[in-house]
Structure 1
Amino acid sequence: MSAAVLIVSADSELVDDLLRLAAAADVEARVASDAPAARSAWRDAALIVAGSDLAAELADCALPRRPGVVVATADPDGEIVYRLAVDIGAQDVAALPDAETWLVERMAAATEPSVSGATTIAVLGGRGGAGASVLAAALASCGAKRGLRTLLVDGDPLGGGIDLVLGAEGAPGARWSDYSERRGRLSSTALHDSLPARGGLAILSWHRGAVEPVAPDTMRSVLDAGARGFDLVVTDLPRQLTDASAEALATADMTLIVVPAEVRAAVAADRVADQARPYTRDLRLVVRGPAPGGLKPGVIAESLRLPLAGVMSADRRLAAAIERGEPPGTGGPLNAFCARFLGGLAPARRPRIHDQAS
């Protein structure tokens, strides 16, 4: 079976550099030290990085033209390198070391699923205890049950942990602190494989104990990887916006504000909406009933100047079920709401997965 990245070079120093870059991109790599050794993997490798030392030999072999060929060189000013790149059908020349960052991203991109992007939903509470985390967990659970590759992101460091809502606090896998130093492009495959999972749902939450806020760059890297590797990404965010949660709002296709059908809750939600509006492209309201004073969901939506995404009916069994570690959205009114809501979205876009086995 082919490797994700094929390195073709007999220059040991260049090979070491390219293997280091492949490790930084978190991709598998195979080395071919001459053109005949490269021939067997030439068609199937996701990306070929050919050293300029073997470019002439590759050209003489008349290998079939294909996309995804890069010539790596430490002599970018040599005209011969560019002529040889044309001869082997390379689309790019990577001048090292200046192009290292570009080449790492190129390696990572070549091994990612080919996909137009996940549907990304951010969820905010209009006031404390509005039920935003429960709705986020229920939407994610419902999405996973519908066969969507789903990622649930806990963006609220003071929320107690959305993994607790799902009964997945003991599941092995990475938490936010494991990504605290992460910047730049992150492999969606590596993200998926590192995270705890519950019923096919990948979850990124927090370790127990003291937590550090997530940097905006880290949030951007995680959500970008989620958009490339999943069908549905749901992010639970705090009401008090941080730089990281503003980044998440800017990434979201849609933001839902959850508000109980109460006057004080509606006033509080109006303030939250004012904070969110500058960052999100599509802000909608979810009203949680019943209304103790008869306040209508349509009236709340009109007063907040927000389109009504739907009404969540109360479920007396829900709180006890969560305490027992049973994921929300497995039945009852909340599941019905989530099914209707997700059913109204555009059909999931299924990526074509490259053969990455080796």
Structure 2
Amino acid sequence: MLRDASADRWVRDAEPVTQSPRSAHIADLDRVSGRAVSTRNVSGRTVSDGRTVGTAVAVDVTDPDLDADVRAVLAALALDPGPRDGASADVVVTDRPDPGVGSGGARVVRVGAEGAGGDDDEVIRLPSGTADLVGALMAPVATGRGSLVAVVGAVGGCGASTLAAAIAVRAADSGRALLVEADPLGTGIDLVLGIESEPGLRVEDVRAELGGPDPDALWGAAPAADPGCKVLARARDREVGEPASDGALGAALAHRSAGGLVVCDAGRFADGDPVLARADLVVVVTRADLQGAVAAGRPGGDLRGATLVIRTQRGDPLDAADVADSAGIPRWHVLPEVRAVRHLAGTGDLGRALGLGRGGRGGRGGRVRRLGAVADALLGEVSTGEW
């Protein structure tokens, strides 16, 4: 029988050639769960053989066959189901149509039997959705709500990457700040901070499946611009035309779930960008000209609570206030163009100029004073929840 809750029994019984829908997916359980156990720490605690323990999972499944399927997956992941009522659980797995919110804020994962009908995309159908269930169970358990700031350029060359780096640098002494290059066309934001030669993880190295990366492992492997600021940049050695990895979003969400601050350089605005959709604060950077005003209005109109940063210089055809009014974004900051800042970003010295390695927020004066002040103001919006 395939209903034995033992993962070993499930896999062993799957060996005979069978064409049933259930047995066609049973081999996936061993393959997917084994790979998951070897590549990700579910709860931040491991045992000596590399398997993971500790995530508290409650199973509240009324269908006995479906219940056995769920418990087999848990067994394969070395997870012991807790009380049905979900008390003290991190995750509640259920087949109830309206489960509500898990007790104590536990994350609810809904499952259903294959072919049971219904078109609810949030329901994981078993057994074909075995990999999806594994991923849901292995998603990072939130230890504290962090924040995700996405910086997007309304037009090209407006300094969005420089501002994103500055925000992460200024947050370095307040906790774990992770700068992520979410722009699929990015060429390495680590260049801005002068750490492109540092060994460590790049976006392409992050596994996007199976619940995303472990936050602590991610933090430990990412190159450091400062003890409080890590950088996850795009690899510059990927081949032309190679599709961009979607590990950036997974890394950002994992770090935020652990209570950290994430600053994403999202590149140019694009409809349906998942990073912008999941961000707590979106910062739109533009110029004080007609093209900049029109372009800023597009993302500003689609993104609730966006903040506008207007780059200005002598001879601008529009006032900053007119740009903000045209874009329809009530909260805005002015960031004057300073040639020295562009030079610092181009030579990798921006981090030091902003105060990295000086035991606190240095760099308040001189050539980067205004850039640091705007970055601090944006961090203030995050901490006060003004978005």
TM-score (norm 2): 0.61
Deviation at 1:228, TM superposition (A): 0.9
The 5 Å alignment of 1:242-257 reads 246-257=273-284
Q: How many pairs were matched up?
A: 286
* Structure 1: distance between partners of 2:88 and 2:316: 69
Q: Could you say what secondary structure the match of 1:123 adopts? A: strand
Q: CA deviation at 1:251?
A: 0.7
CA distances 1:11-37 after superposition (whole Å, capped 9, x unpaired): 9948x97876533543444389xxxxx
1:177 partner letter: E
For residue 153 of structure 1, report the CA deviation from its aligned partner. 1.1
Match of 1:305 in 2: 328
Tell me what 1:148 maps to. Answer: 175
Identify the residue that residue 30 of structure 1 maps to in structure 2: 47
**Distance in structure 2 (CA, Å) of the matches to 1:93 and 1:31:** 28
SS where residue 191 of structure 2 aligns? helix
Are residues 1:346 and 2:383 paired?
Answer: yes
* Distance in 1 between residues matched to 2:165 and 2:178, nearest whole Å: 10
Q: Label 1:140 to 1:106 Cα distance change in 2 as closer, same or farther (>3 A).
A: same
Q: Does 1:214 align with 2:238?
A: no
- The higher relative CO (CA closer than 8 Å, separation ≥ 6) is in 1
The answer for the alignment partner of 2:347 in structure 1 is 324
Map of 1:93-172 to 2, 5 A cutoff? 102=133, 105-106=136-137, 109=140, 112=141, 114-116=143-145, 118-145=146-173, 147-172=174-199
Moved more, 219-228 or 206-215: 206-215
Distance 1:104 1:25, change over 3 A: farther
Conserved? CA contact 2:142–2:258, under 8 Å: yes
Structure 2 residue 272 is matched with structure 1 residue 260: no
Aligned to 1:173: 200
CA shift for structure 1 position 108: 5.5
Q: Deviations over 1:258-292 (max 9, x none)?
A: 1122233323x24xx425644x3322211112352
CA contact (8 A) 1:124 1:236 kept: yes
Say if 2:243 is the partner of 1:198.
no
**Where has structure 1 moved over 6 Å in runs of 4 or more?**
16-20, 89-95
- C-alpha change, 1:242 and 1:206, in structure 2 (3 Å) is farther
* CA deviation map 1:303-347 (0-9, x unaligned): 111123311133332122223321354422111221222124325
Deviation at 1:198, TM superposition (A): 0.8
* Alpha carbons of structure 1 residues 223 and 74: separation in structure 2 relative to 1, 3 Å: closer
Distance, in Å, in 1 between the alignment partners of 2:370 and 2:243 is 34
- The 1:312/1:248 distance shift into structure 2, 3 A limit, reads same
Match of 1:238 in 2: 267
The Cα offsets for residues 221-271 of structure 1, whole Å up to 9 and x where unpaired, read as: 22321221242111112225276xx0111011121111122233323x24x
Q: CA deviation digits over 1:129-155, x for unaligned, max 9?
A: 10101001001111113x121111112
Letter in 2 for 1:257: V
Counterparts of 1:58-97 in structure 2 under 5 Å? 72=71
SS of alignment partner, residue 345 of structure 1? helix
State whether residues 184 and 245 of structure 2, in contact with CA within 8 Å, keep that contact through their aligned partners in structure 1: no
Q: Report the Cα offset of residue 169 of structure 1.
A: 0.6
User: CA separation in 1, counterparts of 2:384 and 2:56?
Assistant: 34
Residue 3 of structure 1 corresponds to none
1:317 is paired with a residue of what secondary structure?
helix
Which residue is equivalent to 2:370?
333
Q: What is the distance in 1 between the residues matched to 2:235 and 2:373? A: 31
TM-score (norm 1): 0.66
Equivalent of residue 285 in structure 1, options 308, 313, 317? 308
CA RMSD after TM alignment:
4.0
Counterpart CA distance in 1 for 2:251 and 2:93 is 29
SS in 1 for 2:47: strand
Q: Against the structure 1 CA distance between its residues 85 and 320, is the aligned structure 2 distance closer, same or farther, given a 3 Å change threshold? A: closer
